[in-house]
Amino acid sequence: MVSHHERTGEVRKLQILGMGCPKCKKLAENAEAAARELGIDCELEKVTDIEEIMKFGVMMTPALAVDGEVKVSGKVPDPDEIKEMLS
């Protein structure tokens, strides 16, 4: 199945919400791997400011937001789980 974003060539915005802990870094690696495996162009942004993180309504980090929508928080999904969130 080809996602809407692949057909249009849009760049997805992936945001890693967290203070830069090892789990946050692993989430960033997994998100990049998932996007690469799907052939999706993405912009990866690390959001470390606690006030910005709270604006997303996230209470537990790390968290992943895709195009501004929080998909997961408080855990590090593997690349396959992230691919499902990007599809």
**Residues forming the active site:** 21, 24
Phi then psi for residue 62, to 5 deg, are: -75, 160
Helix, strand, coil share (%) of the chain residues, nearest 5: 40, 25, 35
38 contact partners, CB below 8 Å, separation of at least 6: 3, 6, 83, 86, 87
